[in-house]
Chains A and B, each alone.
Chain A
Amino acid sequence: MFKKLLSFTLALTMVFSLTACTAKNATTTGDATTDNAAATEGAATSEGTEETAATATGLFAPVAKEDIKVGVIHIGDPADGAGYSFAHDQGIVAMQQALGLTDDQIIRKNNVSDADAVAIRTAIEECLEEECQIIFGTSWGYMDTMEQLAAEYPEVIFSHCSGYKSNGTNFNNYFGRIYQARYLAGVAAGLKTQSDKIGFVAAMGKDNSEVTGGINAFAMGIESVNPDAKVYVKVTNSWFDPTLEQQAAESLLDMGCDVIGQHADTTAPQLAAEARGVWGCGYNSDMTKDAPAAHLTAPIWNWGTYYTSAVQSVIDGTWTGENYFGGLTEGLVAISPLSDNVAEGTADAINAAEVKILAGFQVFEGNIVDNEGNQICTEGKALTDADITGKMNWYYKNVVVQ
């Protein structure tokens, strides 16, 4: 009896959910048609303005500030409160405030896996249905799908973070010289260490240029103020894994390191350093609030700098489709405010280094020897951007992998 009753209820539920689904489908289709109609209308009007606004220098017609819609595709969830997607979303929020946009002008798509082309396409097409004029994709893996969509929708601008593809018109890429900020953090670490051993928790191994370049710049910053110090690297092989990051940091602390740097998404390495009463340099966001007794300063991103200028250029009609590779000069990267834990004279030393970089010092220039004795760069020369973003597969001479 009980089984019969149960199966009957289950069957009922299924029938009910079936009707519920159809009803929902019907409404979505309805929405879609109206959306499409609206989209064609929108396109028609923007074409109209294009003819009148012939004076604008950009590739696209200006858009009224009230009409602009911005799409953002996040790989994670900004609600995590720290880390990669959070840093990007802070940039979006800064852009929104700077330009005075309302909340419904920003279309966010969170937790979009960058390994799932269908999910990426769906997320972006949802943004297109909302009539976004510019769509930011924040993860490397969105690159190919964005390239295809940029060809399919030439009237929409696609802006992609950290990749290498672009088409010069409605598809560009943007990234930053975070290594400049890492150099400055290295100065703070080099002045602080007493054991002359500095640990570094790295997400990826030597073959990843972004991580390795960061380690090298950090090591060069350290060397500039403390030639005796060595940098010890432990690799977790994961961008985000608090347990592994904590374990890697603890093994470095066991070796006697007294400053822990990191290219990893969580605060775990800083917390491990704090628990042992030593120091560290975080990444992505100011980790002083998380590890107040340990943290010195962190290389951070101000994505808002790019997002504000990009959206502003769409509003003004000055979008040129150029790639963006900003650094300290543009304010895209920076270090978080120095905490009270830094050694005496750190502020002056960092200021001096910053002035040097702003005056044209390229970090990866001059006599560079790797830790296997190979000559990477010679006096009077500098590495090109392509070398920095794609061929940084060596460790600087004071880096030790043990």
Chain B
Amino acid sequence: MIINFLFAAIKAGTPLLFGTTGEIMTEKTGHLNLGVEGMMFMGAFMSFFVAYHSDNLVLSLLAAFAIGVFAAFIYAVLTVSFMANQNVTGLTLTIFGTGFAKFFGAMMIDEAGGSPKLSTKFLNAISEKSIPVLGDIPVIGKLLFSHNPLVYLAIVIAILCTVYMLKTRSGLNMRAVGENPGAADAAGINVTLTKYLHIMVGGGICGLGGAYLSLINGGGIWNNSSVVNGQGWISVALVIFASWNPAKAIIGSLVFGAFSVLQFYVPKNIIEIPNAFYVMLPFLITTFVLIVTSMKKSKEGSQPAGCGVNYFREER
């Protein structure tokens, strides 16, 4: 029972991990992108559209990544080059992305004459498979080695991003830009390029989160109404929970995923709590974490100092 619960938690947490990792990349370079929900929506649509027509998992994921990069590029042009307000631009991107996916989603439904469904071949490619030998180990086998391929992809991306951020020179540059773009500029770092690059990569990763939602969570059927359904917003909250570290985001997304499925695994005949309580829990925990981290006042686990402030060289 507990194993089943944790397994479901990992499954529910994975799209959040994509979104959180993407948003951490963006915020670490000094930009708060509230468009995660929109980028996920666009990624969800593109991956489904390509998967529906090509039956190819790699192409479908590339398409989701590409549309995420494109959406983040719009955001970057507006906030980095034109100094537009980051919050407003991000919110606009959310609205735009949602509309984009629903508009073309409706066209896809019209074209298919009903809810489009992915082919069995494609669904097999993304289904849960247990890895030979490792998958047969009791308990751990099911928990760690029996997932769909996107779960592993999310974890690999999160680890790669952590290593990149903390151990490489360009990762260091990116963090410098996020903390103090003026100083980074004086040190000879190309601030604009660094920002563009990481905002776009972050957007691409968010797009992959959308792909997970439409390909795995949607069960292979496109419905136009609630694909992303607030997961993007939870990802933004999760960034704080993970204290801007993708490796911690792995744990954080697991915790949030666990909360989202908790209501179905708590025996109702023993403990009777209203469902609204379970829906509230992740946000309650985030609040709690915020209080604790603000009391600790550690420099490491806090928001990049330059986050949310546009860098204007002439006003340095």
**In the complex with contacts A80-B225, A81-B109, A242-B223, A247-B264 CB distance below 8 A:** yes
- Mask, A233-275, CB within 8 Å of B = 1, is 0110100111100111011101000000000001110011001
Report whether B109 and A246 are in contact in the complex, using a CB–CB cutoff of 8 Å.
Answer: no
Contact A254 B112 (CB under 8 A): no
B247-262 to A contact mask, C-beta < 8 Å, 1/0 = 0000000000000110
Judged by a CB distance under 8 angstroms, whether B189 is at the interface is no
Residue among A83, A242, A252, A268 having the largest count of chain B Cβ atoms under 10 Å: A242
Is A80 a contact of B217 with CB atoms below 8 Å?
Answer: no
**B113 surroundings in chain A (CB, below 8 A):** 81
Task: State A401–B269 Cα separation when bound (angstroms).
Answer: 6
**In the bound complex, do residue B226 and residue A240 qualify as a contact, i.e. CB atoms below 8 Å apart?**
yes
In the complex, which of the residues A79, A250, A252 contacts B224, with contact meaning CB atoms closer than 8 Å? A79
How far apart are the CA atoms of A234 and B127 in the complex, in Å?
24
Tell yes or no: B275 within 8 A of A by CB.
yes
User: Which residues does chain B contribute within 8 Å of A271, judged by CB atoms?
Assistant: 219-221
Chain B residues within 8 Å of chain A by Cβ, number = 36
Cβ A77 vs Cβ B106 within 8 A: yes
Determine if B219 and A268 form an interchain contact, defined as CB atoms under 8 angstroms apart: yes
Whether the Cβ atoms of A237 and B275 lie closer than 8 Å is: yes
**Smallest beta-carbon distance B278→chain A, Å:** 10
Residues of chain B contacted by A81 (CB below 8 angstroms):
109, 112-116, 223
**Contacting pair A80 B269 (CB below 8 A):** no
CB distance from A286 to the nearest CB of B (A): 11
In the complex, how many angstroms separate the beta carbon of A95 from the nearest chain B beta carbon?
20
The A/B interface has a contact count, at CB < 8 Å, of 88
A289 to B229, CA, bound (A): 26
- Report yes or no: A242 in contact with B261, Cβ–Cβ below 8 A: no
Is B8 in contact with chain A by the CB < 8 A criterion? yes
In B17-58, the 8 Å CB interface with A consists of: none
A246 engages B219 (CB within 8 Å): yes
A267 & B269 in contact (Cβ 8 Å cutoff) = no
| Whole-angstrom CA separation of A266 from B218 in the bound complex | 10
Residue A52 is within 8 A (CB to CB) of chain B in the complex: no
Residue of B nearest to A201 (CB): B264
A contact residues around B275 at 8 Å (CB): 205, 235, 237
Would B225 and A240 count as touching, CB distance under 8 A?
yes
20 additional A-B pairs beyond A79-B109, A243-B12, A246-B219, beta carbons within 8 Å, are A76-B225, A79-B224, A80-B109, A80-B225, A81-B115, A234-B264, A237-B276, A240-B226, A241-B226, A242-B219, A242-B223, A247-B8, A247-B260, A247-B264, A267-B221, A272-B219, A290-B115, A400-B269, A401-B268, A402-B268
Report which A residues bind B (CB closer than 8 A).
Answer: 76-77, 79-83, 205, 234-235, 237, 240-243, 246-248, 250-252, 254, 266-268, 271-272, 275, 289-290, 400-402
25 inter-chain pairs at a CB distance below 8 angstroms, sorted by A residue, are: A76-B225, A77-B224, A79-B109, A80-B115, A80-B224, A81-B112, A82-B115, A82-B223, A241-B229, A242-B221, A242-B227, A243-B12, A246-B217, A246-B219, A247-B8, A247-B12, A247-B260, A247-B261, A250-B8, A250-B264, A252-B264, A254-B1, A254-B8, A266-B221, A266-B223
Where the two chains meet, the residues of B that have a C-beta atom closer than 8 Å to any C-beta of A are 1, 4, 8, 12, 106, 109-110, 112-117, 127-128, 213, 217-221, 223-227, 229, 260-261, 264-265, 267-269, 275-276
Q: 4 closest A-B pairs (Cβ-Cβ)? A: A271-B219, A251-B264, A81-B114, A254-B4
